[in-house]
Amino acid sequence: MKQLRNYGDERQQAKCVDCAGANETIDHVPSRVLLDEPYPENLSGVPACLQCNQSFSADEEYLACLIECTLAGSAEPNGLKRQKIKRILQERPALARRLSRTRRETPGGIVFDVKTDRVRHVLLKMARGHAAFELNEPQFDEPLSVNFCPLPLLPEDQREEFETLSAAPRLSVWPEVGSRAMQRIAEGTDLGPLGWITVQPGRYRYSATADRGVIVRMVLSEYLAGEVLWG
């Protein structure tokens, strides 16, 4: 990704993007546990207090491992393709056991029971980061909605709307002047043909728009679709 400087109101970057507390650390968006090494250059970073930065680690690891185990149909480390996730589960056998206990065989295939609060926690954190980084519009309030679903389970019409961003309000109002989103629109930088920003092919892509509200959409491992909306 191209490194873009934020020319928007610098006061918007003076607080932790999650709790509006002290700006003590830089938090990567997305978390590196969701990406493969070598990491992309110029990975986005947003201000965060130390407590918030550290409080998401366990849930981020859980989500990354859950997705990989779901794709593999197993929580056995040796059966996983992503070396990072294999290593995490080898080093954290308790997590591997917890995931194994949630594995169920159904007529439709193997599924894992999901801790929805933990998934929501991570998606909301990343959406707040993207809103602050791309739009220069930190979102400290609770969103109107946080939705997520495996892409293969979305009905065809909903999948098309999600992928083409057509269910989001149109950009009749442009992002803040000087924000990274405005620069991407003006230059076409990093934007795919449908408006998605790809951080790492096959691992993570997102979009962030602002018009009558802020909408952030994310796709993790080309499997989990997430959408966070603020009014």
pLDDT digit string, tens, across residues 23-40: 999 999 999 999 999 999
Q: At what angle do helices 83-91 and 57-72 cross, to 10 degrees?
A: 120
Q: Look-up: residue for tokens 């998934």?
A: 119
> Which range (47-51, 109-113, 191-195, 224-228) has the least confidence?
191-195
**Residue 182: its pLDDT value, please?**
43
**Residue 206: its pLDDT value, please?**
96
Give dist(CA 50, CA 70) in Å, integer. 31
- Find out whether 221 and 228 touch, Cβ atoms under 8 Å: no
Please report how many Cα atoms fall inside a 13 Å half-sphere around the Cα of residue 200, on the Cβ side.
20
pLDDT digits (tens, 9 = 90+) for 99-118: 999 999 988 888 999 999 99
Amino acid identity at 219: V
**Residue 186: its pLDDT value, please?**
46
Amino acid identity at 212: R
Q: What is the mean pLDDT of residues 42-54?
A: 92
**Residue 177: its pLDDT value, please?**
42
**Whether pLDDT at 222 is above 50:** yes
Phi, psi of 209 (to 5 degrees): -130, 155
**Residue 106: its pLDDT value, please?**
85
SS3 content of the chain, % helix, strand, coil (to 5): 40, 20, 40
In 3D, which of 220, 226, 225, 227 has the Cα closest to residue 68? Answer: 220
Total-model pTM: 0.84
Give dist(CA 19, CA 49) in Å, integer. 8
In 3D, which of 168, 150, 127, 172 has the Cα closest to residue 30? Answer: 127
Output the average pLDDT for the chain: 85
**Residue 189: its pLDDT value, please?**
56
Please state, in angstroms and as integers, the Cα–Cα distance from residue 37 to each residue in 15, 31, 41, 91, 200, following that order. 29, 12, 11, 18, 10
From the CB of residue 97, how many other CB atoms can be counted at a distance below 10 Å?
Answer: 11
Q: What percent of the chain has pLDDT over 90?
A: 69
Phi, psi of 221 (to 5 degrees): 55, 30
Query: What are 32's strand-pairing partners?
Result: none
pLDDT digits (tens, 9 = 90+) for 129-180: 999 999 999 999 999 999 999 998 888 999 999 999 875 543 333 344 444 5
Per the model's pLDDT, the better-predicted residue between 177 and 76 turns out to be 76
Degrees to nearest 5, angle at CA 193 with 197 and 36: 35
